[in-house]
Chains A and B, each alone.
Chain A
């Protein structure tokens, strides 16, 4: 799949996935130090889904993401420092420190919402897509959510409305096999969530979420379809999170060997190996990039930590627009 895109694009994806992986490693560390508090939801293991899909977006497109959104924000071009600062509740954070880990938002990049309520991002994305259409632009919207989100009412309602109105939107299920602690099989009576597209008369596509090339090309096709006025697509990315649901979850509910099997399909290794085999990125080059990125991560976290907490007067203006 990756041979379809230019080598430098693949290299960019690989670097970005490494950045996200190390960013989230750092988040764990900062959490232990008490610099990040509350909760965090890591996407380690799922990096190809957000990097591949978001790589297919145009600059003026919109996206909504979820509480598991560090990877998406970075993939959309948010710098690490404002992301770290947000997680640390600092005034230099992308949301001035009031949002935190679950609400990484950046309107300048079309990242119009990060939701801590399962399913809440879908209607908003359909609204942004309809707005783009009504304003006569050709922007589309992407909305990411988990397998758990495919069981809440807004999933069904939003797919229905988007289909009826031919909204230029792409729905992306990140099926990582668990809705919090519960296996998909215990909460959902079908194996392929993409099958639900049939009920709304739209295409449903299944993608290997560990294969970034596949993720990219499938999303690109859905975006092109939406942009052409042919309406929404539902994409189910089959993926896996290497960590538990959130900070406090050691994921002991996983059957033995499952994590190890999925780690063999680590999206970073899969793409790295391909690039190495094609002579574009040697193992030594990869090592150097890991080290270089680690330094960038450390520097960004350090800078973020040196920023002040917001003052109460500062955040009062956030409640009402004047």
Chain B
């Protein structure tokens, strides 16, 4: 049964030094900032985390700026329309203060979460072949993969291999086209099946290749939802990004939300729910807690905040960290942050226009 607790309790209980945390949402949408800001408030205790994420690195930029990321397993560390590369992450990777950084592609990571969601030992990924993304194995080079002399995993959070390539046991029969050509062909014009049947890379054998990736099994996944029932049933609104899968991959799942609602409210239309009650470990309620990202149907992202932050984070590490100290570390909790630092007026200005799900007339000057 899910427990309803404060952000402070959730972070104190589940996030220790070095804990692997998988962060939900994507770029400027439905990101769990209430827990992220609480991690920043507790930065002196936590110090370092193993950060796992897929998508735009908004929360991860904040964590890096507070020197909270030691290992980073990710697909993309840009801030999309605001900044090509999240600057606090970039400079720490370059100067070595983020010592381990494991690259994946979006779909590679998503495929790992499919394996995790369904309890599969691995899942087939048809991308990344021929590229350097699978070839450079940072955790492997750091000696973190596989088993030690005693026969147990060196780091149980890290799979023994980054990837594996096999010959397709079904000879490409299932590479499904969207338009069948007819006859005995299962492929369409854009699939050069004859050519890939000649491939002898990776395995040394001739034939169609399939790259396999292991599941992702984070210690903690944190996601934000609009509504969570008191029993832990979760319903998200709008785009899901990586959340429905990575939530189910986690050993501990923390859901922060706009509001906790009676179970009947979400059970009246269960086909619209995304996570069953038993998946959720802890529920944290914090209205507007996704700020400064958008929570569809509730509020928009704060464009001005992002534009000004995109200038600020180019200053020295010390200045940026000090800015976080004044804006977040010195606040009591997220109510204090939202009311005193941001202000209700700004939050209300961001409320979504009903027919759009975002603020239709939001001004977005550069």
Q: Do A and B come from one complex?
A: no
Chain B positions within 8 Å of A, measured between CB atoms, are: none
Residues of A near any B CB (own CB < 8 A): none
